[in-house]
Each structure stands twice: as C-alpha cells, then as structure tokens.
Amino acid sequence: MITLPFVITYTVYLLSFKVFKKKWYSIHLAVNTTTVLYIISFGTIIYSIFSINPFGYILILLSFMLIICIFIHWKLYTDIIFKHVWKRFWKITFLLFFTLHLVSIFYGLFYNINLVL
C-alpha cells in the first residue's frame, strides 16, 4: 500500500500521455484518478504505525476542507459553481494527502529503524 499510489499515478500519467499526447491533461488525469489511493494509503500507514483507525478523522477533515473551499469560492465569486469548487477541492486534497503520504512514509521508516536499534 505504500508504493502503490506512486506507481499507479505514474502509470496513469504514461498511459494517458500515450493516448492523448497532452502533458498537462495527462498530469491532471493522473492526479484526479489517484487521489483516493493516496487517502486510503495514508490511512493505512497511520493505522499500521499508531494502531488507530484514522478514516473517521479523514472524513471529518475532508468535509471541513470542502466547506472551506465553498466559503472561499463564495467570497471570491459570489456565485457557487459546484463543479469549480469540486475541482479545486480535489486538487487540494491530492496535494495534502500526497504530502502526508510522503511524511508518513518517512516517519514510519525512522520509527521502525528506532525500534530495531
């Protein structure tokens, strides 16, 4: 579960680039399709390190982030276009969980190395 999101993101990018021949479209497609994998992988890593189930907290965090995205969109544009809000929310979610995934991998490695030593 640790390396799966990276490999799948890269594979989706390569396949979509071969099909569509558009670099940025392929990047966005890879990001949009693998965000859920990063969320699940992060929850799995946290569960394996701390033995707590973080998926309820992740759902609360995602709900809170969506509310913030809706509020910011409302303040900036007055009209709420849910498609635009969802796209921004999904990209922010990818960036957050990609970063959390990397941090949790490194923390888990150092945590397990310290247990061995």
List Cβ neighbours of 88 (8 Å cut-off, separation of 6 or more): 69, 73
Q: Is the dihedral angle over the CA atoms 5, 39, 88, 84 positive or is it negative? A: positive
> What single letter denotes the amino acid at residue 102?
L
Structure tokens at 91: 């990209």
Q: What is the mean pLDDT of the chain?
A: 92
Residue 68: predicted pLDDT: 96
Decide if pLDDT at 13 tops 80.
yes
- Mean pLDDT across 110-116: 78
Decide if pLDDT at 85 tops 90.
yes
Helix axes 55-77, 82-116, angle to 10 degrees: 140
In this structure, the number of other CB atoms found within 10 A of the CB of residue 50 comes to: 12
Structure tokens at 84: 């635009």
The model carries a pTM of 0.89
Per-residue pLDDT band for 109 (boundaries 50, 70, 90) equals: confident
Residue 112: predicted pLDDT: 77
Decide if pLDDT at 37 tops 80.
yes
List Cβ neighbours of 98 (8 Å cut-off, separation of 6 or more): 38
Residue 114: predicted pLDDT: 76
Structure tokens at 56: 């309820």
